[in-house]
A and B are shown apart, each in its own frame.
Chain A
Amino acid sequence: MSELSTAVPSSQGVSLWDDAWARLKKNRLALLAATFLILEVLIFFLAPLIAPHSYEVQDLERTMTGPSWRHWFGTDTLGRDLFARVLYGGRVSLTVGILASMVSAIVGVIYGSISGFLGGRWDNLMMRVVDVLYALPFIFLVIILMVYFGRNFMLLFVALGLTQWLTMARIVRGQVLTLRHKEFIEAATVLGIQRKRIVFRHLIPNTLGPVIVYLTLTVPAVILEEAFLSYLGLGIQAPLASWGTLIKEGVDVLDLAPWMLFFPALFLSATLFSLNFLGDGLRDALDPKGAKD
C-alpha cells in the first residue's frame, strides 16, 4: 500500500472569504500596506501616551527649529512640537477620511441596492440620475457650503462623503443585479419574505466584499479632498489640525523650515500609498479576473 503524503481534501467547500483571504495573503505588497496602516492607527490612537510633547503648547523662543533629540520632527512657526502635531493631525485626517467614507458607503449602498433590487424602469431612472450626477464637480458645492455655512466638523465630513457615493452606488447595484437571480433570493421571495427584509438582511451583506474594497479606495480620495480644502483655508477649523493644515503651514515656509512640509507630506503619501495598495490587493483578492493596472 502506497502512503499518500498529501492531505485528504476535506469535504468542506472553500467559501468566498477564505478564498479571498488566501489570495490576499500572497500579495505581499498589500500585506505590507495593511500592516503599516494598522501600526499607524495604533500609534495615532496612542498618541497621548507616545508623544513627549503636547501638540498645542507653544514655545515661542524655539520656533522653526529643525529635527533634534528634543523635538524629533522639529518645531513649527509657533514652537509647537511637529511630531505631536503630525500624530494628532493623522488622527484628524484619518477620522475625517473614515467618517466621510462611511457616509458615502451608507448612502451608496442603500441607493444601489434599492436600484438593483427594483430593477426595470426604477433602476433605469435611478442609474440615470447617478450618471448625470457623476458629471458634476461636487467640490465646488463643497466649497460654497464650507464658505457659507461655517466649517463645523460634521458638515465637513458629510459634504465630503456625499462627493463619493456615486461609485459605491454603481458597484453595489451591479452586485445586487447579479445576486437577484441567485437561488437563495428567489427562494426568499417565494417564501414571502418582505422585500425590505430581503434587501437589508440578504442582499446587502453579500455585497460587503466590493463595498469594503471601495471603502479603502474612498478614504484616500477624501483625505486628499480635505487637504485641498485646507490649503484653500476652508478645511478643518483651528485648533484642530489635519495633515492638510500642516502641509499648508509647511508650504508657506518651505525654504526656511522644510521639515514642516516634509513630515506631514511623508505621512500623507505613505498613508495614501498604503490605502491604495491595500484596496488594489483586496480588489484582486475578491475578483482575480478583474483588470489589474
Chain B
Amino acid sequence: MRLTYLLKRLAVMIPVFFFVVTLVFFMIRFAPGGPFSSEKSVSPAILKNLEMKYHMDEPLVRQYLRYLKDLLKGDLGPSFKHANRTVNEIIAEALPVSVELGLLALMWALVIGITSGGLAALKPNSPFDYIPMTFSLLGICFPTFVVGPILVLIFGVWLEWLPVAGWDTWADRVLPSLTLGFAYAAYISRLTRGGLMEMRVQDFIRTARAKGLTETQILTQHALKGGLLPVISYLGPALAGIITGALVTETIFNIPGLGRFFIESAVNRDYTVVMGTALLYFSLIFICNLLVDIVYALLDPRVKYV
C-alpha cells in the first residue's frame, strides 16, 4: 500500500515538472535582455553569429521542443556564459557543495533544536526553558543575512577563531552551516518543546511516571517518539527553507554552491543554467517532502495513506 502511495506521488511529479519547465522557459525568454549584451557592444553580424551558435535564431517553440528532447536524454545543454562547460558539469561541481552545506545546517538545526527544546520541556519555566526559548524567538525573527555577517564579524574578524569565507578546511564549514541552520534550530526548538509538553499529559506517560521511571527516562524512551512528530512534519518546509536560504549564505561566505550559480545565471541570462538549476531545486524539494512524509508515516502508526 505504501508503495502505491509512493508511485502515485511520483506520478504527480511528472506533469508538475513539465509545467515548471514550460513556465520558466517561456518566462525567461520573454524577458527583456538577451545573453549576449556586453559593455563593448557587438556588431549585428557578430550578434547574429552568436545567436546562431546557440540556436537562438530558431522560432521559440522549436527551441522549446529542442530543449525538451535534450532534457529527456538527461542533457541540460551548454552554458551560455561559461563556454567550456555544460550545465550538467556545472551542477555536478556545485551540487555536492550545496548538499553538504544543507545537511550540515540540518544537523545543527536538529541537534541544537531538539536538545534545547528537550531541555526546556524537561524543566519548564526554569532558565533552561526561558533562555533557549528566547534565543529561538530571535532565530525566527532575524534573517540569515543578518545573523551571518554578525557571526563572521565576531568569530571571523575579531576573535579570528573561524575563517571568514571559503570552503576548503573543516573550519570553513562551521560558520556557514551554523548561520543557515540557526533559524531552523529556533523553530525546531519550539516545536520540540511543544510536542514534548503535549506528550507529558498523555495517559501513557502518566502510567510510566507512576511506574517510577525518572523524568529523563520518560522523555527519551517514551515521549520522544510522539513528541518529535511535529518536528518531523516540519522537516519538509525546513529542508525547503534551508535549500533556498543557502542562496544568501553562499553569497556571504563565498561558497561555490548551486545557489550562487542560480542567481548569477539569472542575472546574466544564462538561460540553460537558470533552467537547469531551477529544475533541480524543484525536484530536490519535491523529493525531500516525499521522504519526510514517508518518515512521518513510519513513525506515526496512526497515519495511513490511501
Q: List residues of chain A with CB under 8 Å of any chain B CB.
A: 128, 132, 134-137, 139-141, 143-145, 147-150, 220, 224, 227-228, 231-232, 247-248, 251, 254-255, 261, 265, 268-269, 272-273, 276, 291-293
Q: What is the bound-complex CA distance between A64 and B263, given in angstroms? A: 30
- A interface, over-half SS: helix
The interface bits of chain B over 258-298 (1 if a CB of A lies within 8 angstroms of the residue's CB, else 0) are: 00001100110000001000100110011001000000000
B32 nearest in chain A by CB position = A148
Q: 18 interchain pairs (CB within 8 A)?
A: A135-B282, A136-B16, A136-B20, A137-B285, A139-B244, A143-B266, A144-B278, A145-B27, A148-B31, A148-B33, A228-B145, A232-B251, A247-B145, A261-B146, A261-B150, A265-B146, A276-B140, A291-B194
| Cβ–Cβ < 8 Å partners of A148 in chain B | 27-28, 30-33, 266
Q: What is the bound-complex CA distance between A136 and B150, given in angstroms? A: 31
- B interface, over-half SS: helix
A232 touches B248 (CB 8 A): yes
The answer to whether residues A132 and B16 also contact, given A144-B27, A228-B145, A292-B194 and a CB cut-off of 8 A, is: yes
A254 touches B267 (CB 8 A): no
- Whether a CB of chain A sits under 8 angstroms from the CB of B247 is yes
A138 nearest in chain B by CB position = B244
| Cβ–Cβ < 8 Å partners of A139 in chain B | 244
Q: What is the bound-complex CA distance between A232 and B262, given in angstroms? A: 12
Q: What is the bound-complex CA distance between A226 and B193, given in angstroms? A: 30
B138 touches A232 (CB 8 A): no
- Indicate which residue in A137, A247, A261 contacts B281 across the interface (CB closer than 8 Å): A137
The answer to whether residues A143 and B150 also contact, given A135-B286, A137-B244 and a CB cut-off of 8 A, is: no
- Indicate which residue in A132, A220, A269 contacts B12 across the interface (CB closer than 8 Å): A132
- Indicate which residue in B28, B141, B240, B248 contacts A228 across the interface (CB closer than 8 Å): B248
A272 touches B251 (CB 8 A): no
Within 8 A of A (CB), among B2-33: 12, 16, 20, 23-24, 27-28, 30-33
The answer to whether residues A291 and B198 also contact, given A227-B143, A273-B137 and a CB cut-off of 8 A, is: yes
- Indicate which residue in B16, B32, B247 contacts A232 across the interface (CB closer than 8 Å): B247
| Cβ–Cβ < 8 Å partners of A269 in chain B | 138, 141-142
Q: What is the bound-complex CA distance between A261 and B145, given in angstroms? A: 11
CB A270 to nearest CB in B, in angstroms, measures: 8
- Indicate which residue in A143, A220, A247, A293 contacts B146 across the interface (CB closer than 8 Å): A247
A293 touches B191 (CB 8 A): yes
A144 touches B274 (CB 8 A): yes
B266 nearest in chain A by CB position = A147
Q: What is the bound-complex CA distance between A132 and B286, given in angstroms? A: 9
A251 touches B282 (CB 8 A): no
Q: What is the bound-complex CA distance between A185 and B301, given in angstroms? A: 37
B153 touches A254 (CB 8 A): yes
Within 8 A of A (CB), among B212-267: 230, 240, 243-244, 247-248, 251, 262-263, 266-267
| Cβ–Cβ < 8 Å partners of B30 in chain A | 148
Q: What is the bound-complex CA distance between A144 and B33, given in angstroms? A: 13
- Whether a CB of chain A sits under 8 angstroms from the CB of B200 is no
CB A288 to nearest CB in B, in angstroms, measures: 15
| Cβ–Cβ < 8 Å partners of B157 in chain A | 255
- Whether a CB of chain A sits under 8 angstroms from the CB of B166 is no
The answer to whether residues A265 and B142 also contact, given A136-B285, A137-B243 and a CB cut-off of 8 A, is: yes
Q: What is the bound-complex CA distance between A30 and B146, given in angstroms? A: 26
A272 touches B24 (CB 8 A): no
| Cβ–Cβ < 8 Å partners of B173 in chain A | none
A251 touches B145 (CB 8 A): yes
Q: What is the bound-complex CA distance between A228 and B247, given in angstroms? A: 10
Q: What is the bound-complex CA distance between A232 and B150, given in angstroms? A: 17
Q: What is the bound-complex CA distance between A228 and B244, given in angstroms? A: 10
Q: What is the bound-complex CA distance between A273 and B134, given in angstroms? A: 11
Q: What is the bound-complex CA distance between A292 and B230, given in angstroms? A: 12
Within 8 A of A (CB), among B179-222: 190-191, 193-194, 198
CB A73 to nearest CB in B, in angstroms, measures: 17
A268 touches B141 (CB 8 A): yes
Q: What is the bound-complex CA distance between A148 and B269, given in angstroms? A: 9
| Cβ–Cβ < 8 Å partners of B20 in chain A | 136
